[in-house]
Chain A
Amino acid sequence: MPLEFRNLIIGYRDKSKLKEIAGPFDIEIPEKKLIAVIGKNGSGKTTLIKTIGQQLAALKGGVYLNEQSLQNISNNQRARLISFVYTTTLSSENMTVHELVALGRYPFLHWFSKPSKKDADCIKEALIFTALEALAETKIHELSDGQKQRAFIARALAQETPYMVLDEPMSHLDHHHKAQLLSLMKKLVTEKNKTIVYTTHDIENAISHADYILALNEGKSFFNTPKNLIEKGVFDRLFPKDRVYFDSATNRFLYHDSKSK
């Protein structure tokens, strides 16, 4: 059940004018892999995610899942295939972790129907997998940023979708929590067979951890394994200024080349 971008151009419709941001993409996302979407602010990372979530219509082409355009499937069907973790703050944080994770079961409930045994099991498993069991009855507003992010992932996990899309999941986290979150994401790929697409502007991080990278810059895009993209010199061309970076772990300025594997 591959996720594909077919001739996809993303952007905004401003009245009747089309404002293209990136594309055309012709990419088949490999299954059960960790895929990083990198690029600077404004390169189209969030636009791409909104297009996958059908909050924005594609300007041209489309997102296909299992040979079917996402535009043509129902909201409920889509919610059973792709789950999302956004950066937006909740309208209300006055809910427990358990209540938040339970909302991931919404696509499987009908009107007022009560959660089934299956729903309860899913919620429990998601809590265990993200090591949040002990915090199940804690309110969201009492969690740390790292715990919050895990709770959102648990909610997406309870949705039982083969695909998970995460928008800037690591942006507010410190080093330790970033590492913790990455290992959780890798575990989701290896143990839960999820295909995870996440955006980040931390190129280093993407190069060292992701299986594939979609690099966006000023409308151009490249998609391949980190190794392949490095060999082709894509990063040097797309992000020349980013070659020098400050490594806070070692307190030194480093070059890309010194760390590429």
Chain B
Amino acid sequence: MTSPTKTQRQLRYLLLGTLFVWAFLLNISYGSVEISIRNIIESVMGNNLQEPQLDYIIHQYRIPKAITAVIVGAGLSISGLLMQTLFKNPLAGPYVLGVSSGASLGAALYLMGASALSAFLPHWLMGNWSTTIAASIGSFSVLFIVAAVATRIKNTMALLIIGLMFGSLSSAIVSILAFFSSKESLQRFVFWTYGNLGNLRPSEIGILGLFVGIGSLLSILNTNALNTMLLGDDYAISLGVSLKKTHLIILITTGLIAGSITALVGPIAFLGLAVPHICRLIWDTSNHKILIPTCLIMGAIFMLISDSIAQLPGSANVLPINAVTALFGSPIVIWLLIRKKQIQL
């Protein structure tokens, strides 16, 4: 078995690009009102539609949501890839560092803890942004702790365990909070954990785009160093890679991406773990030069399709996006693995 030839690869890139455009348009078209792809294209081109309310829906709701899906999907996939390479573990995902647990804890403390104290807190602290701010504080505190630990210890396995401990610790605190909180605030927290792509203000989308953009750029710049990490620590050091520096860059990149996504959109799981595997299996390589761009596009496609399914076309109901990604993604990964009969990092 040899790896795919150059033309085969180019063909796959072309296919991926087409799939992306299709998924993007599909995502805009589905929702409580179905909009034809022709209408979408006309509206995007600047032509006024016969029904002006469709124009409004497309520009105010659908396009921002589709852009959010692209950013979130791309960001989670790239950070999942980085974590799998760093920990040399195919089960690692963007959340193993505990940043999303930190975000959940922050959100829980605000949604379930602070509501009891709301009478005593200043009014501005209870505004629209508060959940986001609380979740951000949670995720970035954990990131800060993880980065501080990483500068002290060389062993990545210890980092992995520390991340898991943060997860257990914060879910324990969340359970206790949930036990004592009112029905309404518990429900608000549960809804937050479902994830929501459609609630973001343009400024929030901008922040998300900035973080994911910086993270992706840092990953691309470190392509060669990431590849040497596939050889193991001994070889990476012998090739002149500064492991501490590279580890720190990977941790901060992942933390920024996963932390900001969890804070703004909610803890969307699974995608970050699955997409890198799908890319490795389809492209039959572990080379980051190919994996980084394909993970970005594939993650976006995956998120767009998941969100389209979540809209339950033809119905007014919307499923939790967090459930759909796993529901739709797990069979794909299982099928690919059974077909290839081999798992490689």
Contacts and interface: CB of A to CB of B under 8 A. Distances in A.
Interface in A75-100: 75-80, 82-84, 86, 88-96, 99-100
Given A111-B224, A139-B1, A84 B238 contact: yes
Interface in A101-125: 103-104, 106-107, 109, 111-112
B338 interface: no
A247 to B, nearest CB: 33
Interface residue SS majority, chain B: loop
A103 B239 contact: yes
A175 interface: no
A54 interface: yes
A60 B33 CA distance: 75
Contacts of A93: 344
B237 interface: yes
Contacts of B286: 92, 94-95
B202 interface: no
Interface residues of A, number: 38
A76 B240 contact: yes
A142 B344 CA distance: 12
B238 A142 contact: no
Contacts of B88: 91-92
Nearest to A95: B286
Among B1, B230, B235, B241, which residue has the most Cβ atoms of chain A within 10 A? B235
Interface residues of B, number: 32
Contacts of A172: none
Contacts of A112: 220-221, 223-224
B231 interface: yes
Contacts of A84: 234-235, 238
A218 interface: no
B221 A94 contact: no
A127 B23 CA distance: 43
Contacts of A91: 88, 229-232, 345
A159 B239 CA distance: 8
A55 interface: yes
Given A94-B345, A99-B287, A137-B3, A89 B232 contact: yes
19 contacts: A86-B232, A86-B235, A88-B235, A90-B235, A91-B345, A92-B88, A92-B286, A92-B345, A95-B230, A99-B227, A99-B285, A103-B235, A103-B239, A104-B239, A106-B227, A106-B228, A107-B239, A139-B3, A159-B239
